């Protein structure tokens, strides 16, 4: 009946776990398999393969994005990203991501709370459902909403009669983005909240705190790093989402194009430099996300409770 938390608390398990763990415990006897005891050429070969692979598939393309973007000079670069269509795409991306992340923040906290603090029927179904967007192709995710809200969809005629635009408009883009990104926050919170159990909340209630006071003063601070981490990943994915948004957006230039869609259009029109210029902004977002992730991991590790 009493939940006994394990020793590692306060940080999402995956944060900082890599690197902290030794590759293998030193063997006590000769002949025991031991990574450190592998011959030097072997070690060199393994490391080389890893580094070359990383360089070839990650670093070179990333550098290329910036090289191409700046190939015609800084002025051309800035004029490409300040083109009205580009600015409209940036604005739409920020708005759509902002709404989606906000919704998923609330949904993620509520879902994680329900799953970890209560027992109810259909709980395992909910856990599975949360993971679904990860296993469904994004194109399908977009298509689902077209089938629901499109002109020929179930609610299409009703929406048209009431003059509400969902598909080929902002609501559709937000819906598709929310669907694709909703696992991120919940998945970061569930393992941590499960591990922490309900004792802290029980303690707060026993001290006379109200439910809301307990939530804001105890529950949220306990998961704050995992929550920020989830929001970060959610945001990165929301801004970068292509497939699902592509299906519902309609590609109206300057109106329903998000940044990834704008990049595609420019590229298809042979405006390579402009395409890479806008793409470089997305690449920059990725780099900032990585950096922020590292900072969060460091902060979380520092605050790691008993």
Residues that bind other proteins (CB under 8 A): 1-2, 4-5, 9-10, 199-200, 202-210, 213, 217-218, 221-222, 224, 303-306
Q: What is the DSSP annotation of 196-226? A: H-SHHHHHHHHTT--HHHHIIIIIHHHHHHH
Nearest alpha-carbon partner for 282 in 270, 266, 294:
266
**153 vs 75: CA distance, rounded Å:** 46
Q: How far is the CB of 206 from other proteins (least distance, A)?
A: 4
Under 8 Å between Cβ of 3 and 199: yes
Q: How far is the CB of 234 from other proteins (least distance, A)?
A: 23
Q: How far is the CB of 185 from other proteins (least distance, A)?
A: 20
Which of 177, 196 has the CB closer to other proteins? Answer: 196
Which of 141, 214 has the CB closer to other proteins? Answer: 214
Q: How far is the CB of 44 from other proteins (least distance, A)?
A: 41
Inter-CA distances, 28 with 24, 33, 35, 39, 40, Å = 12, 10, 13, 18, 20
Which of 181, 214 has the CB closer to other proteins? Answer: 214
Which of 134, 213 has the CB closer to other proteins? Answer: 213
Burial of 36 (0-12, 13-18, 19+ CB in 10 A): exposed
Beta-bridged to residue 305, according to DSSP, are 9
**55 vs 70: CA distance, rounded Å:** 21
Q: How far is the CB of 120 from other proteins (least distance, A)?
A: 15
Which of 119, 163 has the CB closer to other proteins? Answer: 119
Which of 131, 202 has the CB closer to other proteins? Answer: 202
Burial of 104 (0-12, 13-18, 19+ CB in 10 A): buried
Q: How far is the CB of 146 from other proteins (least distance, A)?
A: 45
- Cβ neighbours, 10 Å, residue 297: 19
Q: How far is the CB of 303 from other proteins (least distance, A)?
A: 7
């Amino acid at each position: 009946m009493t939940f006994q938390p394990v020793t590692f608390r306060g940080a999402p398990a995956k944060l900082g776990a890599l690197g902290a763990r030794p590759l293998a415990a030193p063997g006590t006897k000769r002949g025991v398999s031991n990574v450190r005891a592998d011959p030097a050429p072997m070690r060199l070969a393994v490391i080389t393969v890893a580094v070359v692979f990383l360089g070839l598939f990650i670093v070179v393309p990333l550098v290329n994005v910036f090289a191409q973007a700046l190939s015609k000079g800084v002025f051309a670069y800035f004029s490409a990203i300040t083109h009205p269509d580009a600015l409209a795409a940036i604005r739409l991306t920020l708005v759509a991501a902002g709404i989606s992340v906000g919704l998923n923040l609330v949904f993620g906290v509520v879902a994680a709370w329900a799953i970890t603090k209560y027992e109810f029927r259909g709980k395992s179904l909910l856990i599975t459902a949360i993971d679904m967007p990860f296993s469904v192709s994004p194109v399908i995710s977009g298509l689902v909403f077209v089938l629901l809200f499109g002109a020929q969809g179930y609610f299409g005629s009703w929406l048209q009669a009431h003059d509400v635009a969902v598909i080929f408009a902002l609501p559709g883009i937000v819906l598709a983005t929310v669907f694709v990104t909703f696992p991120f926050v919940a998945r970061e919170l569930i393992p941590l909240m499960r591990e922490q159990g309900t004792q802290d909340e029980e303690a707060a209630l026993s001290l006379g705190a109200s439910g809301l006071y307990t939530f804001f003063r105890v529950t949220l601070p306990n998961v704050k790093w995992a929550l920020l981490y989830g929001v970060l990943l959610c945001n990165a994915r929301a801004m970068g989402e292509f497939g699902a948004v592509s299906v519902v957006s309609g590609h109206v230039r300057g109106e329903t194009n998000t940044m990834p869609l704008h990049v595609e259009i420019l590229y298809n029109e042979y405006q390579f430099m402009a395409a890479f210029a806008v793409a470089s902004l997305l690449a920059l977002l990725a780099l900032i996300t990585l950096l922020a992730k590292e900072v969060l991991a460091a902060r979380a590790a520092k605050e790691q409770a008993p």
